[in-house]
Amino acid sequence: MVRTCRALLPVLLLALLVAALGTACGGSSDPAPAGPDAAAAAVPDAVSAAEAGELFQTGGYTLVDVRETVETDQQQVEGSLLIPLGEVEARMGEVPDDRPVLVLCRSGSRAVPAAEAMRAAGRQATVVEGGIVAWAEAGLPYVGAAPS
């Protein structure tokens, strides 16, 4: 019995190593999620401004602008939810949990930590790459001065 266990030990260790590497490298030992979890899995971490514009205009996504008030006073996307980055965690209750969220800032850098905080709180959050600058360059609608 001891010899059999010792003989199987390398095989079991190899199987565990392969499973761990597969998961760490993007694979999964679990089947693809079904139902509401499948929709969450389909939400990308980031999209281009053009893609974000299409998603927002369909009405299936909420756009959360995490720029400071002084910035959103200069220009903003109509219908967006304005929550400065420093207030995201305190105002998480305002971020919808029943649909995906697009996270917008000036250039995309502040949207990353905001989206990470939203994901940690169970929201489906996607960063708008290039922020409001890319949004304007893509010819998408906004109100106010041209972003710089």
The predicted pLDDT at position 148 comes to: 86
Q: Which residues are part of the catalytic machinery?
A: 105
Which tokens go with 18?
A: 């392969």
pLDDT digits (tens, 9 = 90+) for 34-84: 334 444 458 999 999 999 999 999 999 999 999 999 999 999 999 999 999
pLDDT digits (tens, 9 = 90+) for 94-126: 999 999 999 999 999 999 999 999 999 999 999
The predicted pLDDT at position 41 comes to: 55
pLDDT above 70 (res 3): no
Report d(CA 125, CA 112) in Å as an integer: 9
pTM over 0.85: no
| pLDDT bucket at 30, cuts 50 / 70 / 90 | very low
Question: If you average pLDDT over residues 20-44, what whole number do you get?
Answer: 47
CATH among 3.40.250.10, 3.40.50.1100, 3.90.180.10, 3.30.565.10 for 36-144: 3.40.250.10
pLDDT above 70 (res 11): no
> Alpha carbon of 40 to those of 30, 33, 34: distances in Å?
16, 9, 10
DSSP per-residue codes, 86-107: GGTTTTGGGS-SSS-EEEE-SS
Question: If you average pLDDT over residues 18-45, what whole number do you get?
Answer: 48
- Cα Dmax for the chain: 78
Report d(CA 131, CA 13) in Å as an integer: 46
The predicted pLDDT at position 127 comes to: 98
The predicted pLDDT at position 18 comes to: 39
